[in-house]
Amino acid sequence: MREIALVYLDRSGGLQKFVHDCKKYNDSKQSYAVYRFVISVNPADIAELDATLGSYILHNPIQAAQIFQSVCFIAIETLSLIEQLQTEAQISILLKPTHLPPLPSYVLSLSAFPFNYTSQRFYMAEGIVIAMGTVTKYTQGARFLCTEETCPFSEGFRYIRVHLPGATESATVRNDFVCSSCSSPLQEDMKFRVLGDKQIVEMTDAKVLNALKGYSSAKSHCVIQTFTVFLR
């Protein structure tokens, strides 16, 4: 699947954009804990190249991002695109689908039973925004070091933590991580913390408009509940 991912990036122009993004990182001469790349993918085009990879992107986007992460790391190493990069863990890939299949199973509807939204895959959601919070910061990535000076992991970029969709802030940054080599506590290197913007949006189903228009009948009676969306 790595080979298919590379072929797709080359044919879609994504590889050229990736090289350009790498150049911006390399020209900055600054060492980052995490190098973040947004890759647009067309699920239909990828499915034509390889059905398995296409299914991965639609239904297992986190695992699919790891495949593209490996491909991007090999490209950086082979072409010497980012001199400061040391480990594959420093690469964060965000897959951005151009569209989703026009099928009911890809539409997030909180009024339909059963909910069955246990998988971490892509869904489309439509609704009305009724409230928006202020834009705040969250940790996209962080570097941790072993506190034992004699441990080989007391330096370098062995321990990189990157925010994943659906995770809380404490999953990325907290003070109880331990070294896998010597079991000593890990300490964050604050100089390498990568921040991003997040905003909380409160939404409700578009069916609420019927209630606001005064429509009422026994058949259409329902309770409309809001849901929270995190924009990152």
Tell me the C-alpha to C-alpha distance, in Å, between residue 59 and each of 39, 54, 119, 123: 17, 9, 8, 10
Of 5 and 114, the one with more pLDDT: 5
Q: How confident is the model at residue 145 (pLDDT cuts 50, 70, 90)?
A: very high
Tell me the C-alpha to C-alpha distance, in Å, between residue 33 and each of 21, 118, 224, 225: 16, 31, 43, 40
Tell me the C-alpha to C-alpha distance, in Å, between residue 184 and each of 87, 96, 150, 177, 181: 22, 38, 11, 9, 8
Tokens of 78: 């082979």
pLDDT at 218 over 60: no
Neighbours of 73 (CB within 10 A): 19
**Percentage of the chain with pLDDT > 90?**
70
Walk me through the domains of the chain, giving residue ranges and CATH numbers: 1-99 (3.30.1640), 108-133+201-231 (no CATH), 135-197 (no CATH)
Query: What is the structure's pLDDT at 119?
Result: 75
pLDDT at 128 over 70: yes
Q: What is the average per-residue pLDDT within 140-155?
A: 94
* 52 burial level (CB within 10 Å; 0-12, 13-18, 19+): exposed
Does pTM top 0.95 for this prediction? no
Identify the three-state secondary structure at position 131: strand
Sign of the C-alpha dihedral computed for residues 147, 151, 157 and 162 taken in this order: negative
